[in-house]
Structure 1
Amino acid sequence: MLAAGEVAAVAQDERHAPVPILPPLPAMLADRSATLRIDGALDDDAWRAAPVFDAFHQFLPADGKPAPANLRTTVQLLIDDGALVFGIRAWDDAPERMRGTLTRRDKVSLDQDFIGVWLDPTGHGRAAQFVRVNIAGVFSDGMYRADLDESDLGPDFPIDAAVKRLADGYTMEIRWPLSNLRFPYADGKTWRVMIERSVPHADGLLLTSTPLKNGSLSHIALLQDVGGMGDTVAAVRDRSFLELKPELTMRSNRDRDETGRQHGDRASVGLEINARPRADWVFNATLNPDFSQVEIDEPTSSGASRIALSLPEKRGFFLESSDVLGLPLSAFYSRTVADPEWGLRATWRDAGADATAMSLRDQEGGVVLRGGAYETAEYAQTRRTLASMVRTRWHGESMVMGAFVSQRGYGDAGSNEVAGVDGQWRSDGKQALWLLMHSQTSAGFVEEPVARSVRVATRHGGYALGKFTSISDDWWNELQLEAITPGFVNDNGFVPQAGVLKTDINLNRRLGARTLALGSAELELYEFEAHLGVHEIRTLADRRLGQQANQVVERKLQPGIWFRAGRQTNLWANLGFDQQRGRRLGVLHDVPALHFGFESSPLAWMTKFNAEVTLGRQLDVDADRVGSGGNAIVDLGLRLPLPGTQGCSIETDLRFNRAWVQGTLGTPAFVDNGWRALGMLHFTAADSLRLLAQTTSAARRDDGVSGLEPWAERQMHRSLLYRHLWRHGRSMSVGFSRDRTRDPDTTNKSLTVKFQWEV
């Protein structure tokens, strides 16, 4: 058994800095004749013989310390017929303070007691599949990419878990099927893992099985080998797995607009197919998918800006093997596919390379975005299109090289093709990313007399991105350069601006821990940083639009501070010495402002309180004038057990946002508001009732200067959804929704019943 905090050995890199060589997490092959019950009890005979690992370290709120003795954690790993089974014993001398209630899937966070498992079956350390299970048995799972230090919560894995509460803590069992782990067929590296434990009542403590440091390039900068996996990989790599997920959706619509009332009833059948003939190949297909019950996007105000904002993907088909796609956002943006009739995808992995390819037939009705220097143009997609992409990568020890091609075909109305190469290098706290793309486009759009796609003369364009990150004990610095020529178009990607050169510099001086005296009290800061952000956008010459080169679109100079304290509390504040231009021939305005943000998990029942605020001079783009104003976003999360019930809980997420610019008459000349209330009543882990209310509104009033015509618009959504989950992949849901569009005379009411059944 390894003592807590023990490191097996220390190696020296080329700069003679100590690099820990971590002990493996030992695994034992379980007796196939014995049945492992996933009940959380750890009382099966196999657990008595399995080796125990307990070398845990503090990561949050401060790293570099051993785990507290009163919060000892042990891990055992068994390999049964087709799965990894983790057994965790977590001690706690204050079990009454442990936090964990029923919540939505993928909402397990640091405000709850949980166990997390991060697995990298490729051994490259560039991505990991992960699951977090809280003490109420709720999951958060997904794919993590180290190059962007981002977690994608879209994928849902068929993991089985159970928890047993004890008088001095809890035990947990997590069974992860090997069929949902992606790894090479042969010659692959050793599988790697990290286990984490969250203890929110101990000042937001997060323990990890590796001595991970704050300020690392990624959350998986240190992983440990899984011992004893060699024979298991060879035994399961030829096993085939097939999942069929048919779905039946029945919907009744009632619409009312200026032409009168309309109604329609329809039923549709869809099918999702996931096949793994052997370890290195995965095939996915979707036929007539229904995405109606994907939760609508949270309201986010862009203020008076005309530049589009990106939104996260929530649909499972696009999230398979997202680490292989591994491209910056501009290269592939699945939101460009609005309503596919069908989609096909294949993914392949080798020890030194991987690849993925997909093709989807999208129906009309979506929106096509084309970027400009000062605004993002939106066009209606009035015909069926074919969206296709091929992506491949080659892996080295410290470098990855990749290539891709994509196409969006509009039939006889032309097409958009993009090809590119990219790469990543990393070593000893430094990372470099680069991306080069070329496009040719013969598809255009006209809006008069009716909106439609048309073939136009072919236009070429280019895109280049370079990003360098350097991290040390004293500094965290980033430099990013991005050039997008006026003719560059990527209808399968996200390019909100074109014809611009962007520069971003972020310098962060790490000042270590601090203690602030607040009267008679003290506030301990676990991390404190001073930073300087420099951001600039300049135009590139565009003869077609008469755009001059080197015109400043936006310039920001923002010094500030950031610190982290207990209870997952972060606070940052910047002074903005900024400038902004609203149009090609407009004035470069001074828009100084104060930017600050706060996030915390202050109470057991108030799990989230986040705020981001900008106050100062704001540019009203349409009026090309500056006035006092700001932008504010507030998020509040509440979770409460339901009194008088056995395990029922109420979960509430509230969001408010407001952007405004004052006019000269004492009232806002422009205002953009939104609010959202999401309430969940969890009867059991399998039964829930969701109530969602959301309203967005925007208005322009007479500002006394511009003479712009006043207007106002408002959108509302109300929905109620009951869902029952038999097990992963098998569910029934019944939902009612009411939507009111920008036109106040247009409403839609819909009753939907949906069945999904995994075979």
Structure 2
Amino acid sequence: MSIHRASGPITVDGDLSDEGWRGAARVDTWYETNPGDNTPPKVKNVGYLTYDDKFFYAGFEFQDPEPGKIRAPLGDRDALPGTTDYGGVLLDTRNDGKTGILFVASPRSILYDSVLDDPSGNEDSSPDYFWDAKGRITKDGWTLEIRIPFSSLRYAKGDPRTWRIMLYRNYPREYRYQFFTVTLPRGGSCFVCRSQTLTGLEGLPSGGHLVLAPYVTGRQAGQAADGPGTPWHNEKVKGDVGLDLKWTPTANTALDATVNPDFSQIESDVAQIGANERFALFYPEKRPFFLEGIELFSTPIQAVYTRTVTAPRWGVRSTGKFGGTAYTALLGEDDGGGSVILPGPNSSDLADQEFRSFVAISRLRRDIGKSFVSLLATDREIRGGGYNRVLGPDFQWRPSSKDTITGQALFSDSHTPVRPELAAEWDGRSLTSYATQVWWLRSTKTIDWFARYDDVGRDFRADDGFVPQVGYRRTDLEGGYTFRPNGFLRRLRWTASGALSCGSGTRSTACARATWSCRGSSSSTSCR
């Protein structure tokens, strides 16, 4: 796919009649990948691609024979479920076929962006990039304009540059239809790797830049000295100052630093119901300092959870990639506050973190074709005594396009602080243990199976991570067979699964499950 520089200005208003869209690369070859198997779409989709000195543009004309059925509710950013209409573009600006950024928007201009990482198989919507989009519902369907600043993207030096790209539309009606500009084989074990090559990008601005974000705040409190009607007394003015810095000397290297960061503008967490929950709730990271290369923090055992750094006093971080090796390293000081997870076999508890600590996290990942090997190390040194250190390798092996084998082994060495008033186990004791996980996934057009084994020692601790359950062994097995008939019934999948757990208070289960998709989705399950 080849792209050309815009012939004029473009205003992002949902109207594709601007001069800049004339001569834009037209993309009208699309495939229905769900429920169809790379078949022609039932509705017409057209994409347009162009760029100028500062921005990358993607425009879309999405046909709809019944515009009144377009599903486009208002909502928060990143709140675009599969039951709503949306469309957009995935960009792999490093052209490695492994990691891409997804930018999609709805007809009501609700934005969703995420990082898709083939090596880990994860999609993370925590990062919020700087970009904008505008949708417009018309008598023939809806249109969409997307504008992405080059400063939000990372790409290598060179002229011309080569990226990878795919365009996408979600079209939920009697079924959930999904249309792409690439074919997606059923049972494939990668997604970004299917993207098309994009050429013709010339004269782009340098990918490296420096961002300084200082802040100064001040406040003064006061009250009536002896109640209403008495003289007013003002306290002294209190101030605060801090700085965030980001430098990207190359497309593959990012350096971050922060001193007394201010996170007051970060959106609040989405509420979760904690009633009858035996283990701690997980909340995604939203603080910018921790989001660079967030896919590198994703491992089978979640030994890194940056929300455990509750109040950073300062921090420095380097993230990059050279050749087939990616790395990230973080060092900082946590002022404390918040809570620490105290894991157990049957439930977890929380303890107040009334102490400062130094935090160090690093991971090195070496890609070998579509597989990788990696090493993770974390350390938390508590002021006044105490520490938690975790070290171990992980890997992912893809012997074929249908099979994925992933595993991780971690070893922890801990010495708890002497704070028994906060937690009974914080009496200065030493804890040493291990955690392992290995799983095998095989997926084809009709047959799939999954096998997983977990073994976590009772004294394993990952104070920089999110491991709320310890002291158990568990084996999970699941197999399925999928039928895809034509007509009203489009998908029928039968599965059988079983789980064997060992540990205090655990139990084993065996289940049979049938799911089917016609005009909606249904399922039935039987367990014992």
TM-score bracket for this pair, using the shorter chain length: 0.7 to 0.9
Q: State which of 190, 196, 205 in structure 2 corresponds to 1:224.
A: 196
CA distance in 2, matches of 1:416, 1:90: 53
Partner of 1:562: 515
Instruction: Look up the match of 2:2.
Output: 26
* Corresponding letter in the other structure for 1:29: R
Q: CA deviation at 1:46?
A: 4.1
Distance 1:565 1:270, change over 3 A: farther
* 1:422-470 C-alpha deviation (Å, 9 max, x unpaired): 111223111111112122112245434x659967354432222111110
| Counterpart contact for 1:413–1:455, Cα < 8 Å | no
Give yes or no for the alignment of 1:525 onto 2:498. no
CA change 1:313–1:535 in 2 (3 A) is farther
Distance in 2, matches of 1:457 and 1:499, equals 17
1:415 is matched with 387
Counterpart mapping for 1:82-161 below 5 A = 82-147=54-119, 149-161=121-133
Deviation (angstroms), 1:66: 0.5
Shift of 1:500: 2.1
1:37 equivalent to 2:37? Answer no
Structural mapping, 1:141-540, within 5 Å: 141-147=113-119, 149-183=121-155, 190-201=162-173, 203-213=175-185, 215-217=187-189, 219-220=191-192, 222-229=194-201, 231=202, 235-237=204-206, 239-242=208-211, 244=213, 246=215, 248=217, 268=240, 271-286=243-258, 287-291=260-264, 294-301=267-274, 303=276, 306-426=278-398, 427-444=400-417, 446-448=419-421, 456=428, 458-513=430-485, 524-539=488-503
CA displacement 1:679-706 (0-9 Å, x = unmatched): xxxxxxxxxxxxxxxxxxxxxxxxxxxx
Q: Is the 8 A contact 2:385 2:418 kept in 1?
A: no
- Distance, in Å, in 1 between the alignment partners of 2:249 and 2:453 is 42
Q: Kindly state the Cα deviation for residue 328 of structure 1 after the two structures are TM-superposed.
A: 2.9
Q: Give deviations 1:480-539, integer Å, cap 9, x for gaps.
A: 112222332111012222232221112111122376xxxxxxxx3322111112122214
User: How far is 1:331 from its partner?
Assistant: 1.5
**Residue aligned with 2:437, SS:** strand
The whole-number CA distance in structure 2 between the counterparts of 1:221 and 1:525 is 31
Are 2:309 and 2:336, in contact at CA under 8 Å, matched by a contact in 1?
A: no
What secondary structure is seen at the aligned counterpart in 2 of 1:447? coil
Check 1:361–1:42 CA distance in 2 against 1; reply closer, same or farther (3 A cut): same
Please say which of residues 157-166 and 476-485 is displaced more in the overlay: 157-166
- Unaligned 5+ runs, structure 2: 224-233
Q: Is the CA contact 2:384–2:417 (under 8 Å) kept in the aligned structure 1? A: no
The answer for unaligned runs of 5 or more in structure 1 is 1-24, 255-262, 516-523, 540-550, 578-759
Q: Structure 2-normalised TM-score?
A: 0.87
Tell me, yes or no, if the aligned pair for 2:6 and 2:21 is still in contact at 8 Å: no
What percentage of aligned pairs have identical amino acids?
Answer: 23
Give the letter aligned to residue 344 of structure 1: V
Range 473-482 or range 551-560, more displaced: 551-560
Q: For 1:524-568, what per-residue CA distance to the aligned partner results, in whole angstroms no more than 9, with x for missing partners?
A: 3322111112122214xxxxxxxxxxx7722111111122333xx
Indicate the SS of the match to 1:96: helix
Determine whether 1:572 maps to 2:523.
yes
Q: CA deviation at 1:215?
A: 4.6
Work out whether residues 121 and 182 of structure 1, in 8 Å CA contact, stay in contact via their aligned partners in 2.
yes
The change in CA–CA distance for 1:67 and 1:276 in structure 2 (over 3 A counts) is same
SS at match of 2:12: coil
Q: For each residue in 1:545-592, what CA deviation from the matched residue of structure 2 results, as whole angstroms up to 9, or x when unmatched?
A: xxxxxx7722111111122333xx333332221xxxxxxxxxxxxxxx
Alpha-carbon distance between aligned partners in 1 of 2:176 and 2:334, rounded to the nearest angstrom: 45
Name the CA shift for 1:187/1:351 in 2 (closer, same or farther; >3 Å): farther
Give the alignment partner of residue 75 of structure 1, picking from 47, 54, 59.
47
Asked if the contact 2:187/2:402 (under 8 Å) is kept, the reply is: no
- CA–CA distance in 2 between the matches of 1:148 and 1:244? 32
Cα distance, 1:267 vs. partner? 6.4
Structure 2 letter corresponding to 1:62: G
Counting matched residue pairs gives 515
Q: CA RMSD in A?
A: 3.3
Residue-by-residue CA offset, 1:101-127 (whole Å, 9 max, x unaligned):
432111123333322211222333333
**Among 38, 41, 50, the residue aligned to 1:64:** 38
Q: Give, in whole Å, the separation in 2 of the partners of 1:486 and 1:512.
A: 45
Question: TM-score scaled by structure 1?
Answer: 0.62
